[in-house]
Amino acid sequence: MTKSILALSLFLLFGSCKSKQEKLQPVKEKITESVYASGIIKSKNQYQVFSSLNGLVSVIHAAEGDVVKKGDPIISLTNTTAQLNTENAEISADYTSVTANSEKINELQVAINNAKEKMDNDALLLQRQKNLWAEQIGTRNELDQRELAYKNAVNAFQTAKLRLAEMQKQLSFQAKQSQKSLQISKVIAGDYLIRSEYKGKIYSLLKEKGEMVSVQSPVAIIGDAASFYLELQVDEYDIARIKPGQKIMLSLDSYKGQVFEATVRKINPIMNERSKTFTVEADFTKQPPALYPNLTCEANIIIQQKESALTIPRNYLLAGNNVMLENKELRKVVVGLKDYEKVEILGGLTEQDVILKPVQ
């Protein structure tokens, strides 16, 4: 009987303690409202290197970790068809050059000289026949024949000159066309040498010697060797609150226990439909000593801060912005800033009020 009474007393004691509601008074303290974002570290000017042509990797000119300048070779490709096309263009350019066709031009020039000599000779014969005719020597038929011969000689001379001009024009066109084709072939051949577009570090080589390269797949990743920035993903529900210049507090897995500062630089204005997030770019206020592309980070973008605000824990706030007073009365309050734990009270409570924690 005694044991039963003791057990019942203990049950009532613990039960009454368990049912007792927690209570507290609002306090004044610092509160920071922020938006959570996750992201990665990127090197400035980081880009994927693509080839403009398909081919096989024949030579790799650099290694991962090397710092290259703009224009430095990275990978050479080989393509037999392109090489043959370049050689064929060189042959065509040599064949159609004006120098190579000088014999044709000389031949037409000789024809012009012969036609001029005949024209001049026929002019003299015509003038002699006209003088004889003036002295009533010879016949009208002889004069007409001389005039016809001269006209034919003039026409032949003009035709010879036109043929030369046409030949020169044709040869010039063919030579320019062949040279242009050769230039195009050389440019295409030059595209088989993939070069760096910017000064930076080679962070990754994605192809090995002998592998096939296509225009759709990158061959390397290059970026600035010393300057980095943050690429953060912000939920669509929070993006309207983000503005350039806002302060960011962030942590990196590679620097556990340390907090770094950054500033919002840019908000990309299009949403990723799959993740329902916007990309926000930010710059470090003071960059960590050693960084690498694609390191992960977690960040809080600070929206507002107050050094002294009347606050209560968020789990004391009921639906409709109500709180329960110590006397079980519900009172509506005006709320301000919120963080993950606290909420600012702008009206409805004072530091002297006592509120109860809602029963879970």
Higher pLDDT: 76 or 252? It is 252
Bridge partners of residue 297, in order along the sequence: 39, 252
CATH class of 47-52+61-78+192-221: mainly beta
**Do the strands 330-332 and 334-338 form a parallel or antiparallel pair, or are they unpaired?**
unpaired
pLDDT score recorded for residue 186:
59
Distance CA 227, CA 182 (A): 42
Q: Cβ atoms within 10 A of the Cβ of 76, count?
A: 16
Across the range 213-237, mean pLDDT stands at 92
Per-residue tokens: 360 = 């879970």
Asked if 50 contacts 355 with a C-beta cutoff of 8 angstroms, the reply is no
Q: Which of 289, 231, 194 lies closest to 44, judged by CA?
A: 231
Q: pLDDT grade, residue 158 (50/70/90)?
A: very high
| Average model confidence (pLDDT) across the chain | 84
Q: Are 359 and 351 in contact (CB under 8 A)?
A: no
Q: What are the structure tokens assigned to 325, written together?
A: 């007073």
The Cα 15–Cα 11 span in angstroms is: 6
CB 333 within 8 A of CB 323: yes
In this predicted model, what pLDDT tens digit does every residue of 236-274 receive, in sequence order?
999 999 999 999 999 998 998 899 999 999 999 999 999
Element (H, E) at 289: none
Q: Within the chain, where are the H helices?
A: 2-19, 80-95, 102-134, 140-190
86 φ/ψ angles, rounded to the nearest 5 degrees: -65, -45
* Identity of the residue numbered 186: K
How many residues make up the chain in this entry?
360
For residue 89, the tally of other CB atoms under 10 A from its CB is: 21
Distance CA 246, CA 262 (A): 8
> Does position 19 have pLDDT exceeding 60, yes or no?
no
- Burial letters for 217-250: b for 16+ Cβ neighbours within 10 Å, e otherwise? eebbbbbbbeebbbbbbbeeebbeebeeebbbeb
Question: How many whole angstroms separate alpha carbon 297 and alpha carbon 77?
Answer: 38
Per-residue pLDDT averaged across 23-42, rounded? 91
Task: Give me the pLDDT at residue 17, please.
Answer: 44
Question: Which region among 11-20, 140-149, 349-358 has the lowest average model confidence (pLDDT)?
Answer: 11-20
pLDDT at 264: 96
User: Which CATH entry fits the domain spanning 36-45+224-304: 2.30.40.10, 2.40.30.170, 3.40.1390.10, 3.40.50.300?
Assistant: 2.40.30.170
Residues 6+ apart with CB under 8 A from 108: 160, 163, 164, 167
The pLDDT > 70 percentage for the chain reads: 86
Quote the pLDDT of residue 18: 47
- The larger pLDDT score, comparing residue 210 to residue 285, is at 285
Q: For residues 27-49, give the mean pLDDT.
A: 91
Q: What is the separation, in whole angstroms, between the first and last Cα of the chain?
A: 36
Range picked from 77-81, 155-159, 176-180 for highest mean pLDDT = 155-159
For residue 273 the two structure tokens come to 């439909």
User: Which helix (H) or strand (E) covers residue 44, if one does?
Assistant: none
User: 0.75 exceeded by the pTM?
Assistant: no
How much is the pLDDT for 89? 61
pLDDT of residue 100: 65
Q: Once rounded to an integer, what is the mean pLDDT over residues 73-92? A: 70
Rounded mean pLDDT, 317-346 = 89
